[in-house]
Each structure stands twice: as structure tokens, then as C-alpha cells.
């Protein structure tokens, strides 16, 4: 479960070493029909809103993103997952998204439709794991500092969880042309959850040519008694250090 609004928004932007509003997000700068960018990555712990999605194992990931005229974009994001319901089910996630960036007198408005898909999940007649979110972001740059506010809504959360709401604030600070620091604070509500929760992370991103390395600490306030609702794998809600190494391709067709 993941997101240009969330997963491919600030994270991909920082990993790509470009503006925090996503790689090639301002498609007004793209010539003709636009550009196609991509990245491949490996992380020691795939976290979504503070919760491990792959049993805290090393996880390959990748993305393909089209940035078109007038701020429009679309793409897909892939990752190995393991929710352990039953063992190693589902085994991968394939997300699809599309949206538009709009300049509001120096503030970027990003409205995105995002679909979280788990193609090989076998519910044995139970609720579906795949679900949809509408994501809205506002970002503003103050010199080296970028502040972003994200809101999201799902009419039916994963596995029949009911309506889901999410809000997040992010601050990213560029130290120099190869190093930035950032932090996130988010809160998740889901109707069927035993309680809502807050998550956070903070860390640094270093870049060299097409490579980036992101190191951060991720935590949340989920109670042990409620952890099973958010993820079945052991220790999925424990805090921990996350390292992600990424190789970026700014223009796949160039």
C-alpha cells in the first residue's frame, strides 16, 4: 500500500535528487508528449505509513512514470510484499496512479488517483486486498526548505476496512547539491481499525550521479494489541532503521 502523492511524491523526488514535487512533475517543462522516467531500488524494510509490508526483509522495488504537458502524469510502482496471510500472500504489489500538478501562485497543487493492487492475493472468498485512494497535496518551496501537506481518502480500505482517511506533513531541507534531510509526520484513520495511529520518520538522502542512498528511522504509536489489524507479520509495527538504494533514469527514451 503506498504512493507521486506519497511514495512517488516526496520520497521519489528526494531519491531522484530533484525538486521535491517529484521527478519531472512539472510537465510544462517537458517537450511534446512528455518524458518517461524510471527507477529501480532495494530497501531493507518496505514501510508504508510506518508499517512494514514485507516482513522487514530486503525488498526490490521499481517505478515507471510518464510526465506529460500541462502538469499531467501517470505511472506504476512495483514492490515485493509479504503480509503472511497465509504465508507469503500476497507476494507482490503493483500500484497504478494518474494525476495533475497545478501552480497556484507559487504553491504546487497535486491531485492524484491512486490504486493499490495485489494481483496474487488469494482471499478464499473474503474481502479484497486491492483498494483506491484520492490523494491531494500542497507543496511550497521556501529557498532550501520545502513544506508539503498531504490528504487522502479511500471509500473502502484494504480487506474491507471501511472508509479510510489520512493526513501528512513533510519538511525537506536541501543542504547542498548532493545531500538533503527530511521528516514526515502522518496520521491514519480506518473505520474498522481498533484505533487510529500516528507515524513518523526522519533521515537524510545522499545522491551521486544516478544513484541515491536514503537512510532514516521510522516509527509509530500503534499499540501491540492493535498491531494485528495493520499487519500480520511479526514486528511489522516496531520502529526501525530503513536504508534504500536507488538507481534513477531521468529519461528512459532519450
- Give the integer Cα–Cα distance in Å for 123 and 126: 5
pLDDT of amino acid 238: 96
What average pLDDT does the segment 191-212 reach? 98
Q: How wide is the angle at C-alpha 222 spanned by C-alphas 219 and 227, nearest 5°?
A: 115
Reduce the DSSP state of residue 46 to 3 states and report it.
Answer: coil
CA-nearest of 173, 171, 168 to 197 is: 168
pLDDT band at 21 (very low <50, low <70, confident <90, very high): very low
Domain 7-249 indexed as CATH 2.40.160.40: yes
Q: Is the dihedral of CA 15, 243, 54, 192 positive or negative?
A: negative
Q: Where are the domains of the chain?
A: 7-249
Average pLDDT, the chain: 89
Q: Is the dihedral of CA 34, 111, 90, 245 positive or negative?
A: positive
Asked if residue 6 has pLDDT above 50, the reply is no
**In DSSP terms, which residues pair with 7 in a beta bridge?**
none
Asked if residue 239 has pLDDT above 70, the reply is yes
Asked if residue 8 has pLDDT above 80, the reply is no
pLDDT of amino acid 20: 37
Higher per-residue confidence, 74 vs 30: 74
By the 8 A CB rule, do 76 and 94 touch? yes
pTM of the model: 0.89
The burial class, CB within 10 Å (0-12 / 13-18 / 19+), for 213 is middle
What average pLDDT does the segment 95-114 reach? 98
pLDDT of amino acid 232: 87
Which DSSP string do the residues of 66-117 spell out, in sequence order? EE-GGGEEEEEEEEE----SSTT-S-EEEEEEEEEEEEETTEEEEEEEEEE-
- Give the integer Cα–Cα distance in Å for 184 and 149: 10
Asked if residue 143 has pLDDT above 60, the reply is yes
The burial class, CB within 10 Å (0-12 / 13-18 / 19+), for 136 is middle
Measured CA distances, 81 to 8, 78, 140 (Å): 17, 10, 33
Q: Which residue has the cell 498491531?
A: 227
By the 8 A CB rule, do 25 and 32 touch? no
pLDDT of amino acid 88: 67
Amino acid at each position: 500500500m503506498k504512493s507521486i502523492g506519497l511514495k512517488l511524491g516526496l520520497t521519489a523526488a528526494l531519491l531522484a535528487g530533484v525538486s521535491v514535487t517529484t521527478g519531472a512533475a512539472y510537465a510544462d517543462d517537458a517537450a511534446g508528449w512528455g518524458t518517461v522516467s524510471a527507477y529501480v531500488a532495494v530497501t531493507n524494510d518496505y514501510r508504508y505509513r510506518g508499517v512494514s509490508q514485507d516482513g522487514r526483509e530486503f525488498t526490490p522495488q521499481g517505478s515507471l512514470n510518464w510526465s506529460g504537458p500541462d502538469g499531467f502524469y501517470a505511472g506504476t510502482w512495483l514492490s515485493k510484499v509479504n503480509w503472511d496471510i497465509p504465508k507469503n500472500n500476497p507476494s507482490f504489489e503493483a500500484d497504478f496512479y494518474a494525476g495533475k500538478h497545478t501552480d497556484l501562485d507559487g504553491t504546487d497543487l497535486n491531485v492524484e488517483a491512486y490504486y493499490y493492487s495485489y494481483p496474487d492475493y488469494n482471499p478464499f472468498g473474503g474481502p479484497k486486498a486491492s483498494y483506491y485512494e484520492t490523494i491531494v497535496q500542497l507543496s511550497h518551496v521556501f529557498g532550501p526548505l520545502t513544506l508539503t501537506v498531504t490528504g487522502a481518502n479511500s471509500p473502502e480500505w484494504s480487506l474491507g476496512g471501511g472508509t479510510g482517511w489520512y493526513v501528512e506533513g513533510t519538511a525537506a531541507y536541501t543542504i547542498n547539491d548532493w545531500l538533503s534531510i527530511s521528516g514526515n509526520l502522518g496520521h491514519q484513520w480506518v473505520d474498522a481499525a481498533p484505533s487510529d495511529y500516528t507515524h513518523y520518520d526522519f533521515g537524510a538522502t545522499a545522491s551521486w550521479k544516478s544513484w541515491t542512498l536514503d537512510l532514516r528511522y521510522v516509527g509509530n504509536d500503534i499499540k501491540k494489541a492493535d498491531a494485528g489489524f495493520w499487519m500480520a507479520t511479526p514486528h511489522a509495527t516496531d520502529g526501525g532503521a530503513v536504508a534504500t538504494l536507488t538507481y534513477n533514469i531521468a529519461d528512459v527514451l532519450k
